Structure 1
């Protein structure tokens, strides 16, 4: 009887547990399907409105007010054992609803849980949670999608109302003064009228001999060359892979490569003088044939791209021209962050194709960060098994926790990685197009994916009793109790500990394996990018003051600074290193590690070591590194001192690659419009025209042609005597707010063509840098007439030729939103790219009419406008005429 009783009790307990699990899952499913979540912005200047941002520990005492509204569209929900996880890129400082509590988990991941005062969600009831957050929220994409809900013993579910990339479905309030960051914000907010005014100096012109990027010298000859019967490539100086790459571009242009028109290519270094550089060429197009003379294979390849650039999709008759050309910079780069959100191999191959077409030659892949490790490394499977995936695993032994709107599941580009075979394929594809792939493995900061992955590896081997193997690649000192908050709100797990020998072993393993992949691809690794940026505790920034200071500053947040640490400050391993006096102090550890890794790079016969400049700031100069050359990716904001500090880095012997966030970061919004995507800490907007007008070698000059983050003028002054010219220019795409490949291409194209223009061609309106010379909106040193004329030529080539090519290539580029006004009942429209087709609607988009500038329509009532692609299948965002 006792045995039967025990069996009965066990059965009842199992049934009860099963019932509880079933009830939990039912609750989770109901919340997932029926809870609408919406965010409304109330104020972006909460301190002015009476909120004590200072006391709430907001940096610079700056905070915003929003509401998070929860509406139950289904049956009553009475359970209170559930948790909603949601994403916020702003630190949340306070909530004002006693039915809930909000706790930050890590990074941008928060959890919302009911308190004992929670009364349930009645059917059709809305509960509003007032929230105070740090800083401001000015674009819809500040609010991440894919909150998810879970409960004990239940499978998590994404909340359907936030499982979307259409931010307008869940964000409201961003209009009027709520678009201002502060009272001094004088940005011009984009609308139909402001766009019209900005484009008004542009007219459609003939562009038959104009190409992008602009050659050094173009001479128009008599006659035309008819390529409609195809071209016959005559050369022994190009590899088969290069010819195949040219065939791919020709096919896009509907141009036969085994045709009648002869194109003769000769590579002859001796035919050029001693000042010639790699990529230099001469192109002579006549009615009978084209002759190409190139300094090297790169020059021959670029000459062919120039020939292709003269061709329109619908017209294979090109003008007879003579072009003499050479690149401005040796380094003409694009950096793609595939770590925060992944990019598929197919999308990267498409990017490589476009880079080749516009003579960009460095693809800098940001392969690792806190949110993801994106390259298979033989022998370390956890890096991609765990670090390459995001899902809901609180222990993070199978995946990283969700971040940046990736939600509960790994069925999106929050997860993913390149296999070894994928990477080798990309390397060979890039080599055939004269593009060097530069891998970046970010260290010692921005390394959470690596640290967590190696902790999972540690646990696997420790469970087997093999502590030697477990510790071999461990990256975190388990005794380090440092209290640290990184720029994206992670703790000490964001850092590889530079004082542990296992960290060096790990770095050497990664360098060796990636170098082997490059060798296998037949393209030896020549540049290693260390990363090195932002190895700091943001709570020790100047925007905070100690809570116990007697004299307080109104515009700083109050914080107990005694509880804050430098990274590694409480790591016994690092304390021992500092005590040995091998390193001057904890702040010097990132530069110390950079020098150590550079030595490994040199030992692997890799000649160039590159890093974000702040990671090397405590090294004496470029001679501190054992590689043949050391470069910095320079990312100081121009109006915050970058106009001077870039030259300081050059004077220390570094090869400076200009990567200025306020001009060539492609994750910044195109316009000051809440509907645009992107971060905006460096600038509120960078469109194609602004990027085109960037003067990368005379940084102070940009103060005369652009404004700061708040839309105000600033001063640029040459204060450093330069000793070394800049090495190159790179455009960056960080992917925190870029979750899909389509969004990626929207952000990169078409403005990357303007970056290609500036990297290849130095314009006549760019002045020489002069120490002591000051620029501002009030000076008149820049030839604005030449600048505007130059952009008009560029914009016409874009509108009449290049956008159609991007579309034919399948690139999801951004179509510009048109400008428009209504004057005395007549609609006037224009575009940033003359030649692009425009449409209007007078019935809220039910029917669309083609706009003609020669026969402007009369309109009444509300008018909606858009631009339309060459094929008529893609459209810009629609907007109303004011």
Structure 2
């Protein structure tokens, strides 16, 4: 075997006739092969008979069909490898031509076996025996590529991400459709999940049917609101603004959202009075023909009042019925987490989301700025973090970039690369603060830290080469003598900071101080720093630097992560900054060693660890935010279907209805509405119980970005279900039974008022339909759900998940026709829904007569 760096390759000999492009230079020859090689991925079976020695397997295939003509330089032989990303562990590859190895993480390599011959036009099927299941086309990664010695790596053209012009979303055209429900839906008969077919969606939509919005459309729903008889409140001729107790700058974005000329005659009085008796972020709104008055205790409340007025005014074409509103939020933390680490999403997208958050009264933006796969924030003192850690490309030694994880491709030019400059970040923090939104930066550690580790190794190499040994070691995040072998949940072997060396804590301080300086420049002091608090099982066992620390902690290396979290949290507290982290890592700490002011995000799954973690950490007196995946992980698919995007390890479907029905104040009661991961009803016990007086701080949506490569996908995965989370963070779920310690709940428990839920859902769904146009004006490409449909007796019936949605259908070979009601059809029918502005459509679904 001849090596290409440490990633290696094998000689490829190609047998076949001479070709017209025979004199193509070596790079052109590789380019031609990458352009002409057909590459098809197929999930074959999630319930196969596993080969001997394997368990819990699934079978997928890669089919390669070589072009009929191949350049002579390849025909004569060349060092060639094929790289692709695959997120599941691969236990076995079956191929008569190829050898396989995992490089690191999800980067996989295929090389020809010694003496293997590829022939023009030949078709080769490679069997991939993976661990677990493969339930969605969306988790297949694009941009498989070819590497040959002395040439630039090239993406196999057939595997490129393309954008569907109708949906605006990536279309993985090289991935075969998944249609065999019997073999592909689940792993076993105990899993009761079924795909949400158009026929099933029709029944579901009918059960949840709602009318278009009318009356008060404010979202989230106010605590108290009423419309009155009388002359209209006419905003069409402008307003005359009077401010008391608040500067215009503090409410400027909300005024801009109102979109009304400020040289008009209608009085609009905004008063901020901390002694008004109104709750923080609350407001009173009184809009009558002779003027509008908004009173609040703070600028955030005044802005919320203006946002509510703007929503109602837009719905009523700026001529409102008189209205009064008294309103305040249910929870002080109503958050959105956005993962920039896995795949980058830049300043403009974040600024758009900040405005959308403000429109729907969300107030915490949790920016996940670093991961194994990318570092996304400029730290001036450590330039390699952004220069090296923000780019993924084919550089086996990782001298200039990280490995091309998650289908990033080899050239480093993909949109998934990038970072926020200090100026970008300051602009985001400033824009958020102007809208009453706190930015919470997150740098995951000590696990999930590979990007930082690699970048700091390149810093070390640069300074060591210059003879600056002490400076080189100052921010090195590993113990070079550590021989520990471990593998993270994402299959990395080298992604964990060494918590036993001073350089790690120097690094944390430098990063936190840089972020604090950016927040200071934005005029919004850094209040909370989220350190993730993830660990990698098995790390540091054989690290000489950790020998003493392990001995001091019961001779168990697993105890080092809690000590790290406690130390960092204490250091942050000394800087006046609250520490935040994910509940699994935070739960292992000793509360006595932690500051009193701590934020913890509960991410245990509802039917497994959620209640245990939430109640335990509530009882510690910490600020508990529910980030539960069944309700709050918006990288999960909207519905159980292989064409819906997202990971599915926690839930096969998280739709707006499920998010809307969530009962944050009584976690066990959610068993009445939400089945487990296998679509089975499962009771939930209240263990441990929540101590009297303990209450959650809030709820938060999470969008992890492994499968989210474009900004349009961000919008699709967040909206409209983020509106449901905004409602639950602001307004009480009236169907929730009062929490009583020790009470357990089962499926359809009568203590949960499902009739109240249905009524409230119908009202909410109508109000969502009123938000389509405002979202489009903000540039948000919200999800357009495919319609439900069925054919009975030759008659097509169709419906939508939300009211006011346009449905179109076509018979085979026909043109798209707007659906207006049941219609006679003669054969199979395709259907789609359209966005309010008709610029985008849902994915196409098909129905046939039974």
Q: TM-score, normalised by structure 2?
A: 0.93
The offset of 1:206, in angstroms, is 4.6
> CA separation in 1, counterparts of 2:116 and 2:245?
76
Could you say which residue in structure 2 is the equivalent of 1:110? 108
Q: Which piece of structure 1 moves more, 593-602 or 370-379?
A: 593-602
The offset of 1:364, in angstroms, is 0.2
1:280 to 264, 279, 282: 282
Q: Can you list the C-alpha shifts for 1:382-417, whole angstroms capped at 9, x where unaligned?
A: 000000111111111111010111111221232100
Q: Can you list the C-alpha shifts for 1:844-868, whole angstroms capped at 9, x where unaligned?
A: 5x52222224xx3322222221111
Could you say which residue in structure 2 is the equivalent of 1:501? 502
Note the residue ranges of structure 2 that are not aligned, 5 or more in a row.
1-21, 162-169
User: Does the CA contact (< 8 Å) of 1:39 and 1:172 recur in 2?
Assistant: no
Matched residues, number: 810
> CA separation in 2, counterparts of 1:720 and 1:770?
12
Q: 1:576 to 1:206 in 2, by over 3 A?
A: closer
2:62 to 63, 68, 84: 68
Instruction: Give the superposed CA RMSD.
Output: 1.8
Could you say which residue in structure 2 is the equivalent of 1:561? none
1:476 to 471, 475, 478: 478
2:389 to 387, 390, 397: 387
Q: 1:182 to 1:248 in 2, by over 3 A?
A: farther
Q: 1:134 to 1:174 in 2, by over 3 A?
A: farther
Q: 1:130 to 1:795 in 2, by over 3 A?
A: same
Matched, 1:266 2:271: yes
Matched, 1:872 2:838: yes
Could you say which residue in structure 2 is the equivalent of 1:703? 671
Q: Can you list the C-alpha shifts for 1:286-322, whole angstroms capped at 9, x where unaligned?
A: 2222211112111111111111121336722223222
1:596 to 551, 567, 570: 567
> CA separation in 1, counterparts of 2:264 and 2:290?
13
What secondary structure sits across from 1:73 in the alignment? coil
> CA separation in 2, counterparts of 1:143 and 1:672?
16
> CA separation in 2, counterparts of 1:754 and 1:698?
18
Matched, 1:744 2:705: no
User: Does the CA contact (< 8 Å) of 1:634 and 1:656 recur in 2?
Assistant: yes
Could you say which residue in structure 1 is the equivalent of 2:211? 204
User: Does the CA contact (< 8 Å) of 1:644 and 1:717 recur in 2?
Assistant: no
> CA separation in 2, counterparts of 1:599 and 1:388?
29
> CA separation in 2, counterparts of 1:348 and 1:322?
33
> CA separation in 1, counterparts of 2:290 and 2:818?
40
Q: 1:22 to 1:369 in 2, by over 3 A?
A: farther
Within 5 A, what are the aligned runs for 1:160-175? 160-164=157-161, 165-175=170-180
User: Does the CA contact (< 8 Å) of 2:59 and 2:127 recur in 1?
Assistant: yes
User: Does the CA contact (< 8 Å) of 1:261 and 1:288 recur in 2?
Assistant: yes
Note the residue ranges of structure 1 that are not aligned, 5 or more in a row.
1-19, 538-565
Q: 1:459 to 1:212 in 2, by over 3 A?
A: same
Matched, 1:573 2:545: yes
Q: 1:826 to 1:695 in 2, by over 3 A?
A: same
Q: TM-score, normalised by structure 1?
A: 0.89
What secondary structure sits across from 1:645 in the alignment? helix
> CA separation in 2, counterparts of 1:230 and 1:881?
51
Q: Can you list the C-alpha shifts for 1:144-178, whole angstroms capped at 9, x where unaligned?
A: 10001111111001110001231243234453121
User: Does the CA contact (< 8 Å) of 2:50 and 2:57 recur in 1?
Assistant: no
Could you say which residue in structure 2 is the equivalent of 1:546? none
The offset of 1:693, in angstroms, is 0.8
The offset of 1:790, in angstroms, is 0.5
Within 5 A, what are the aligned runs for 1:358-369? 358-369=360-371
The offset of 1:805, in angstroms, is 1.1
The offset of 1:23, in angstroms, is 5.4
Q: Which piece of structure 1 moves more, 135-144 or 112-121?
A: 112-121
> CA separation in 2, counterparts of 1:771 and 1:121?
70
What secondary structure sits across from 1:229 in the alignment? coil
> CA separation in 1, counterparts of 2:464 and 2:78?
38
Matched, 1:294 2:296: yes
User: Does the CA contact (< 8 Å) of 2:496 and 2:536 recur in 1?
Assistant: no
Could you say which residue in structure 2 is the equivalent of 1:143? 140
Q: Can you list the C-alpha shifts for 1:768-823, whole angstroms capped at 9, x where unaligned?
A: 22222221214211111110110111111112x10111112111111111112223
User: Does the CA contact (< 8 Å) of 1:88 and 1:108 recur in 2?
Assistant: yes
> CA separation in 1, counterparts of 2:539 and 2:405?
22
> CA separation in 1, counterparts of 2:384 and 2:762?
52
Could you say which residue in structure 1 is the equivalent of 2:14? none
Q: 1:522 to 1:700 in 2, by over 3 A?
A: same
Q: 1:718 to 1:365 in 2, by over 3 A?
A: same
User: Does the CA contact (< 8 Å) of 1:83 and 1:111 recur in 2?
Assistant: yes
> CA separation in 2, counterparts of 1:256 and 1:174?
55
> CA separation in 2, counterparts of 1:530 and 1:615?
10
The offset of 1:357, in angstroms, is 0.3
User: Does the CA contact (< 8 Å) of 2:185 and 2:193 recur in 1?
Assistant: no
Within 5 A, what are the aligned runs for 1:185-196? 185-196=191-202
The offset of 1:641, in angstroms, is 3.3
Could you say which residue in structure 2 is the equivalent of 1:325? 327
Could you say which residue in structure 2 is the equivalent of 1:861? 827
> CA separation in 2, counterparts of 1:849 and 1:810?
27
> CA separation in 2, counterparts of 1:734 and 1:521?
26
Within 5 A, what are the aligned runs for 1:443-842? 443-491=445-493, 493-533=494-534, 535-537=535-537, 566-579=538-551, 581=552, 585-606=556-577, 608-621=578-591, 623-626=592-595, 628-723=596-691, 724-799=694-769, 801-842=770-811
> CA separation in 2, counterparts of 1:160 and 1:284?
60
> CA separation in 1, counterparts of 2:331 and 2:213?
29
> CA separation in 2, counterparts of 1:93 and 1:236?
68
Q: Can you list the C-alpha shifts for 1:484-503, whole angstroms capped at 9, x where unaligned?
A: 00011101x20110000010
User: Does the CA contact (< 8 Å) of 2:785 and 2:842 recur in 1?
Assistant: yes
What secondary structure sits across from 2:776 in the alignment? helix
Could you say which residue in structure 2 is the equivalent of 1:51? 51
Q: Can you list the C-alpha shifts for 1:495-546, whole angstroms capped at 9, x where unaligned?
A: 110000010111111111111111111100011101112x133xxxxxxxxx
User: Does the CA contact (< 8 Å) of 2:735 and 2:753 recur in 1?
Assistant: yes
